[in-house]
Amino acid sequence: METYDALLASITPVSGETRTILDPATGQPVGEAPVHTVQDLEEAIAAAQAAQPAWAALGHDARSAALLKAADAVERSAEELARLLSREQGKPLNGPNARFEVGACAAWLRAAAATALEPETVVDDGETRAELHYKPIGVVGAIGPWNWPMMITVWQVAPALRMGNAVVVKPSEFTPLSVLALVEILNQELPEGLLTAVSGGREVGARLAEHPAIGKIMFTGSTATGKAIIKSSADTVKRLTLELGGNDAGIVLPDADPKAIAEGLFWGAFINTGQTCAALKRLYVHDAIYDAVCEELTSVARSMPMGNGLDEANVLGPLQNRQQFEIVAALVEAARDSGARILLGGNPAPDQPGHFYPATLVADIDNSNPLVAEEQFGPALPIIRYSNVDEAVAMANALDVGLGASVWSADPAAARKVAGRIEAGTVWINKHGAVDPRVPFGGAKQSGYGLEFGVEGLKALGVPQVING
Ligand code: NAD
């Protein structure tokens, strides 16, 4: 699209019911989102069913070529997409935020195009020749959250398309415009009906999850909704990839250099103003360096400007919605009331038009405090003191979620040993939350099941078939 206004106009409905989306930084309108219904969903699924066989018949090379062109289309409209994302989601243009997210969309499209998935000969011993192939599933449903709406949509859509499927996307009610705009741009390079975004509420998501024509649901969102999807998909035995909530622990070993790790710790926790599934949400620091880590982290956090995302100076933004603001505020207040020490933040400006909650660090907090035990999903990091590594590992493993985790140390080999003891889908060493389209990503325990990215991610969007002759 040539301009921001043209992009917005391309997704503004000309008829039907609409809902005004407000900018979380200012409370001002961003645009009108269609309120799609279950009937709209039925039409999108029918169009997807009609378009899918020809798309599957194109083969891997032609589909990969289309995904590369779609990546180019995203890059041509990158600035307009980033601006819309910033206005609707709240994340700043600058920093690891809106431009970064749009860049990731192009990168993941290209990676899905470039990853090879050849049939595998499993046994060939002269008597048996068994080959493992992956066939298209058919129509895939993609249900996503509001925190990284464009990037997560691409994570779901790119491998699904690459494997020969059609996709119906159900964006979060909080961020429909970003996803509608992204899909509009992708559709510049895709056949009609193959990819549709249906911007409705929970009832549309629930119908998608039980619909007999949907072969698989790619879901990213809360653990509670993931459980509802497992139930509603049971009657049709749908395949599921569930990327659910997390409450990632970071363990700082006593030999770490507080100054050297402070910025990595900060972005591990505060990327997207803390509204990130695999962000550092509980930091366990050894007693020997506890005060130094608190001091260095406070100094880094204090230097990070928060404000309207369209201002290039800012790297932290508002919370996306009032509910999330209230959750973070209540957890920090409860921590303060319990006697924990607020090192920074904790006092949002009253009566502001936006949902800004300051970057908040909470020290001397008990491991059982709700700010530690619950997913705060915002810019508030509890820092818990420990005195031996076994105790830290036990605390890290004590919850029923396990998406990511990290270990911080001057000795990567020692850190790796500790990493192997942590119950999480990914354990990073001296970084946290760094995702890569070549590296599989998924949760342990109630953070979900199924892997995304890389060749494992492609396999998850196919139906395995063994040819045994
Ligand atoms: P949410 O579960 O409230 O909503 C996600 C989506 O599910 C929305 O589109 C919603 O409309 C839809 N939905 C709601 N009820 C449904 C139902 N019964 N059936 C089908 N669909 C339904 O999640 P959210 O608040 O948008 O996102 C925040 C959560 O997502 C956090 O817990 C976060 O950790 C998690 N998350 C996880 C990952 C990951 O990769 N594991 C990534 C991002 C976010």
Span 435-464, pLDDT tens digits: 999 999 999 999 999 999 999 999 999 999
439 domain-assigned: no
- Mean pLDDT on 8-27: 95
Residues 143 and 285 in one domain: no
User: Which residue, judged by its Cα, is nearest atom 42 of ligand 1?
Assistant: 277
* pLDDT per residue as tens digits for the range 224-257: 999 999 999 999 999 999 999 999 999 999 999 9
Please check whether residues 102 and 65 belong to one and the same domain. Answer: yes
CA angle 328-429-158, nearest 5°?
Answer: 75
229 and 308 fall within a common domain: no
Q: Assess if residue 434 is contained within a domain.
A: no
Instruction: Supply the pLDDT for residue 211.
Output: 98
The boundaries of the domain holding residue 147 are 4-244+447-468
**Residues forming a β-bridge with 408:** 252
| Residue whose CA is at the smallest distance from ligand 1 atom 14 | 202
pLDDT digits (tens, 9 = 90+) for 181-237: 999 999 999 999 999 999 999 999 999 999 999 999 999 999 999 999 999 999 999
- What CATH number has the domain bearing residue 418? 3.40.309.10
Let me know if residue 200 belongs to a domain: yes
Q: Pairing relation of β-strands 239-243 and 448-449?
A: antiparallel
pLDDT at 351 over 90: no
**pLDDT value at position 408?**
98
Q: Is 245 in the pocket of ligand 1 (CB under 6 A)?
A: yes
| Mutation test residue for ligand 1: of 225, 240, 324, the one with most atoms within 8 Å of CB | 225
Question: Does 69 map to a domain?
Answer: yes
- Here the CATH number for the domain that contains residue 168 is 3.40.605.10
Residue 67 inside a domain? The answer is yes
* Residues 131 and 218 reside in one and the same domain: yes
Q: Tell whether 151 and 36 lie within a shared domain.
A: yes
Distance 193 CA to ligand 1 centre (A): 25
Q: Say what the pLDDT of residue 2 is.
A: 78
Report the alpha-carbon distance of residue 231 to residue 209 in Å, rounded.
Answer: 9
Residue 338 lies in a domain: yes
Element (H, E) at 158: helix 149-162
Q: What percent of the chain has pLDDT over 90?
A: 98
226 with 359, same domain: the answer is no
Strand boundaries in 171-255, DSSP class E: 195-197, 214-220, 239-243, 248-252
Q: How far is the CA of 165 from the centre of ligand 1 (A)?
A: 22
pLDDT higher than 80, residue 324: yes
Annotated catalytic residues are: 243, 277
Same domain, 350 and 205: no
**Would the CB of 229 count as within 6 Å of ligand 1?**
yes
Are 257 and 272 members of one domain?
Answer: yes
Which of 143, 198, 231, 451 to mutate to test ligand 1, by most ligand atoms within 8 A of the CB atom?
143
How much of the chain is helix, strand and coil, in % rounded to 5? 45, 20, 35
Asked if residue 232 and residue 134 are part of one domain, the reply reads: yes
pLDDT digits (tens, 9 = 90+) for 257-291: 999 999 999 999 999 999 999 999 999 999 999 99
Domain match, 290 and 330 both: yes
| 277: Cβ contacts below 8 Å, ≥ 6 apart | 145, 147, 220, 243, 244, 245, 246, 403
Q: How many structural domains comprise the chain?
A: 2
Strand pairing partners for 19?
33
Identify whether residues 356 and 285 lie together within a single domain: yes
3-state secondary structure of 345: coil
Specify whether 240 is located in the same domain as 278: no
**DSSP secondary structure string for all residues of 370-435:** HHHHS---SSEEEEEEESSHHHHHHHHTSSSEESEEEEE-S-HHHHHHHHTTS-SSEEEES--S--
The verdict on the CB of residue 375 being under 6 Å from ligand 1 is: yes
Q: Is residue 346 part of a domain?
A: yes
Instruction: Please give the mean pLDDT across all residues of the chain.
Output: 97
Distance 458 CA to ligand 1 centre (A): 22
Q: Is residue 441 part of a domain?
A: no
